[in-house]
Structures are given as structure tokens and as C-alpha cells.
Structure 1
Amino acid sequence: MIGKLEMLIALAKEQHFGKAAESLGITQPSLSTGIRQLEEQLGVKLVQRGSRFRGLTPEGLRALDWARRIVGDARRLREEMRFSGTGLAGQLRLAVVPTALTWASRLAASFSESHPKVSFTILSRTSAEVLEMLENLDVDAGITYLDNEPLGRVSTCFLYRETYTLVCRKDHPLADNTSIEWADLKDQRLCLLTPDMQNRRIINRCFMEAGIAPTASIESNSTVVLVANVSHGDWVTILPNDMAEFLTTGKDLRIVPIRQSGAVPSVGLIAAHQEPHTPVLQALMDTARTLVSPPRRTSAKVDGAGRQGYSGP
């Protein structure tokens, strides 16, 4: 039954029989047979079939919710049993928004010091992809924004507030400023993250609140590309302070803080809401809490965002 439920999850994710079979390492006929057997066991039609995959039936969508819960619980059971025999071991899979990758590395390094038998896979993804991968059981946890867009029912652990800096060459007119306003960026030649990134949507909102609408000359889903363009041309970019400091170290660039008048976005570790978490995941949440002090309350909008068990609207 567990294997067939995993087939349903894969099919819902890939929306294609061939791709779902490939992701599971089985043949397409084996997948089709497994889904049909699951339908027979449950006594309902789960998949709308035609010349190609046409989606799940209403019963299939309800079964998908159960499948995710059951498969997730089965994996938690295996983790519990392994922990009782060998202690913390295995692999943690993290999906992380690009601007938080330095924090992901910091978390993995701190965790590995205490639990060397646990390995990490860290993937750079958009905030929407982080949630999707968490829902599809493709990752164990994620690092993303906590209070800017709905998260759903997840457990969270606050990590930091995201403040922004301008990254520019040392000969840029704004390079010697101690700080700048968002309005000062009105006529600048910008390179920014792509619009599918939540960081970009936050920056666009800051521009709008400042009464300006600058256009990005270059867009990328990589912060490395953004800083490389600043180094090689007359562009400027905007990055969170931690990422900016990391990427400009040893380079002939300047970072200039941008004064923030509104709410400051919070970023944190998230995981599917479960009671209890697996021992490995609980240890990860505990490690995350040791890396930070309690968040300061900068506005009513972000008040209390770092508490475990927080559920988005």
C-alpha cells in the first residue's frame, strides 16, 4: 500500500505517467498497474485518464491528502526506529530561498558538529517551490520568508530579519554614502532577482512605497550572477546584508545600507506541522534556535512570527 501511495504522490507532482515512473525508478506500465491496483483497493477512480494524464478525480485529490500523511508517517516511523538503534543518522534535505543560502550553510555546519552521521542536501528554490517540495515530501525542511506570503500549516523557527543593502562598485556615485533611501535608486541601472522570487516581490513593494518604479536591466535567479554583473559593469544590485557581505568579500565593491521605514521581513526554518517531529528534524529545529537570539519586534505586522507552530493565513 505505501508503495502505491508513493506512486499517486509522484503522479500528482509530475502530472505525467512517464515522468512519474522515471522519478520512482520504475517502468510506466508498472506505475499504471500500481495506480489501478490502488483504485481497486480503495474502490474509487483516482485518475482521469485519456490519451494523456488529465488530472486527479475529486476522490483522487482527497486520496492524495491521505497519501501524503500516510507516507510521511511511514517515513517518520522508519526514522524513529533507526534513531533507537543507531542514534541520529541519515540525510536531511533542505529547500532554501537563494537569499538565505548563507544561513543554510551556517545551520548545516552547526548541526554537523554535533551530529556527524547526518548528511545534507541543500537546494536553491523559490519560496513557492520550497512549500511545494515540502508538501510533496521532496524535502524535509525549508528556509524561507515567514510573514510576507501565506505558508499554510507548518512549524517554524525564526532565524533572522532581512535588511537590504545596495551593492555597487567603489567608484559609483552612491558608494561613499553611509546609507541611502529607496527613492535614491530611482534612476539606477539595476540587476535583480527574477520576479518569481519572493525577495524581488518584497523589493518591488519597497519601490512602490517609495513612489518609484525602476526597471531591472538584468534579472537572474542567482545572487552570484547579480554580483558578477556589478563587478563587470555599471550595474548595481540589492541584496540582504548577510548575503551581500559574503559575496563582496575580497572584491572591489561597496555595500551601502538602505534605510527601511516599514516592516522588516523575517526568514526562518519551516517544516511540515507534525507532532512529534522525527528525531533528526527536531534536532535541526533545536540547532536553529541556538543560532539566534529572540527576534526583536519591529512592527505589529511581524509580531510573533518566529514561534513554532505558526500557521500562515
Structure 2
Amino acid sequence: MNGPVYASHQGSSELNSIPPIDLADLRVLVALADFRHFAKAADACNLSQPALSARIRKMEHALKTPLVERSRRFEGFTAAGERVLARARQLLNDVDGLVQDAKSGETLSGLLRIGVIPTATPLAGRLASSLSTVHPNIRLRASSLSSRAIEQGLKEFALDAGITYLNTEPNPDMKTLPLARERYCLVGTAQLPGNGTIPLDWKDLAGVPLALMTPDMQNRRILNRAFAAAGVEPNVGFEANSFLAIVSRASAGDVAAILPRTMADMVCMDGLARRDLAELAAPPVIGLIAARRVPLLPLVAALWSHAAACIAESDLASDNPT
């Protein structure tokens, strides 16, 4: 029998069971999660606040459950709202990938969101500059975040990729590409211990007043393990979650900062001396991470292949092939 084939009655019923929710509704939910404020979320979505509230009520009616805690101001999501939000982020991320795939035969363009640990900001800047020469229409937005915040951002689809530590607190759920090993130096006034050209042993830092990153930063956890391996309890005189802050503190002369050498090259001030520290037995490796998905988003794939080409001649290329 010739002629068009129509969907079965059962298939039609399945379509009719899909809640009447569109992508704009999902974007409203994500904006509310990002801004934690009704008016700001409405402005980001180019809606009035009543229109935003109407979309939320429509979703709640369609799903037959409250999504947002009701109050004069935003108080958070219900348990069901948190689950729906996670799905909304994933669906919007997949739609973004669909759009990128549709344009993959053309010049790649769009926003690439990357989370970067503070120690890797010089590396991220160089990689972004290099990428722009190959893909000038890709806009890269780098946010300085802790390693844990980067992993969370990837899980929530708030980030597309990250530059973070790979081997100190590995996450098997992430696709990784090593980029550089991290080495350290002591930075302070001219009265640094030893004042020589031979790298300083970590045990020689016993009693030296130090300015270090805060304990929530993975860099600090790495340093704490280095001190423990040397049998030294660090004498911490100042803590901050900013390398610029600890370098500024070291410039006063009564404490010294421990910095990755690449960071010291970028932020060290006049009047400060530096002394290399002995390399750790297992140096931290910094690299790209992304959520394991097939295929990768085209923009992430472009970043990945470009970064891999940049380090193809490096001894790091064989450290982690995943």
C-alpha cells in the first residue's frame, strides 16, 4: 500500500503525555539558579518579573509539583526543583551542542566557558591566545575557581571545560589531557633562607613565616602534603585565596610566599627575591578536563585538539592518554 505512514495511536498518546514545557521555560529556571534573584533572572531572560513567575507556575502546573520555595524573595528550590534544574542544565547543554553540530561545517563560533584554578591562569591565558589564532570566532570566558568548584560546574553543565590538577585528586568521571607540570619557588625579600642557586629543600622551610593559599584550595593541600613528606609543620602567617594577595603580603618583608614558578614569573614585584624549591617526588600535573561524553561539544573538541597539538612534542603527552 502506497502513501504516507502515519504515527500510531499509541505514539500519538506518548507525544500528548509530554508536559508543555519549552526551552525558554528551562532557561528561566537556570537563570533563577544562577542569579538567585527573581528580578535579575527576569532581566537576564528579557522578561518582566510577572512573566518570569508565570513561566515558573506553568512548569509547576505541567509537572504537578512545586519547583520554587515561595516567598517575597527567592528562597531556593524544592527538592523536586533541584532535580528538574539538573535536567534543565543538561537539556540546554545538549541543545547548545545540537546548534554547534549544525554549524560544525562552517567556521566555529560561540562562547566556551572554562573554569581555571588560580595557579593555571598564566597557562590559560597562553592557551586562549593560541586558540584564537586558529579559531578567532570562539569567545573563551575563563573563571578563576577552586578545583572542586570546577568539577561541580562541569557536572552542572555551567562550564564546558576546566584547567585544573589531574594527578593529585583525580576524578575518573572526567576526560583529561595533561598540559604542564607544576614546580614551586619561595618568594620574599632578599633575606630568603640560603640565598643560593641550589633549589631549597622543603625541610629548610621549618620556622620560616609563610603566606599560603587558603586550605580550601587544592594548591594548599598539595603544599601541605609536601611539608608532611618533609616532616615539617608550616609556619603560616597569612592565608588568602588570591596569589596577588599573598605576593603583596610577602612584599612587607616578614613572610615569604610559595608560588608556582609560572605564577611567580607573572606577578612578582620589584624588590622581591625568589628561590627555587626542590621538585616534589610526584609533581602536580595541570591539564584540561571535561565531562566524559560522546561526542564532545564541537567547541570543546576544538579546544581539546588544539591543546593536544600544542603539547604533542612534550613528555607530558604520554602521561595521561584519556
Give distance in 2, aligned partners of 1:149 and 1:25: 41
- Listed as ranges, the gaps of 5+ residues in structure 2 are 1-21
Q: CA deviation at 1:107?
A: 0.9
CA contact (8 A) 1:194 1:219 kept: yes
Aligned to 1:286: 305
Aligned pairs for 1:173-188 within 5 A: 173-188=193-208
* AA matched with 2:294: E
* AA matched with 2:309: T
CA contact (8 A) 1:245 1:255 kept: no
Aligned to 2:14: none
Instruction: Note if 1:241 corresponds to 2:261.
Output: yes
CA contact (8 A) 2:108 2:138 kept: yes
Give distance in 1, aligned partners of 2:132 and 2:222: 32
- CA deviation vs aligned residue, 1:177-218 (integer Å, no higher than 9, x gap): 512222221211211122222111221232233333324222
Instruction: Note if 1:264 corresponds to 2:308.
Output: no
Q: 1:53 to 1:153 in 2, by over 3 A?
A: farther
Q: CA deviation at 1:7?
A: 2.1
Aligned pairs for 1:201-280 within 5 A: 201-248=221-268, 252-261=272-281, 263-280=282-299
SS at match of 1:142: strand
CA contact (8 A) 1:169 1:175 kept: no
Question: Identity percentage over the alignment?
Answer: 38
CA contact (8 A) 1:161 1:264 kept: yes
Give distance in 1, aligned partners of 2:317 and 2:307: 17
CA contact (8 A) 1:9 1:136 kept: no
Aligned to 2:168: 148
* AA matched with 2:49: Q
Give distance in 2, aligned partners of 1:18 and 1:209: 52
Instruction: Note if 1:97 corresponds to 2:97.
Output: no
CA contact (8 A) 2:108 2:137 kept: yes
Q: 1:180 to 1:255 in 2, by over 3 A?
A: closer
Instruction: Note if 1:68 corresponds to 2:110.
Output: no
Q: CA deviation at 1:5?
A: 1.3
Q: CA deviation at 1:267?
A: 1.5
CA contact (8 A) 1:146 1:266 kept: yes
Aligned to 2:80: 59
Q: CA deviation at 1:282?
A: 0.5
Q: CA deviation at 1:152?
A: 6.8
Give distance in 2, aligned partners of 1:136 and 1:22: 22
Aligned to 1:124: 144
- CA deviation vs aligned residue, 1:206-244 (integer Å, no higher than 9, x gap): 223333332422222222232333344232111122222
CA contact (8 A) 1:163 1:241 kept: yes
Give distance in 2, aligned partners of 1:29 and 1:112: 41
Aligned to 2:8: none
Query: Taking CA–CA contacts closer than 8 Å with sequence separation of 6 or more, which of the two structures ends up with the larger relative contact order?
Result: 1
Give distance in 2, aligned partners of 1:188 and 1:237: 10
Instruction: Give the total of aligned pairs.
Output: 299
CA contact (8 A) 2:200 2:275 kept: no
CA contact (8 A) 2:196 2:275 kept: no
Q: Runs (4+) of structure 1 moved beyond 6 Å?
A: none
SS at match of 2:255: coil
- Provide TM-score, normalisation by structure 2: 0.81
- Listed as ranges, the gaps of 5+ residues in structure 1 are 298-303, 309-313
SS at match of 1:149: coil
Aligned to 1:300: none
Instruction: Note if 1:87 corresponds to 2:107.
Output: yes
Q: 1:197 to 1:77 in 2, by over 3 A?
A: same
Aligned to 1:29: 50
Instruction: Note if 1:172 corresponds to 2:192.
Output: yes
Larger Rg: 2
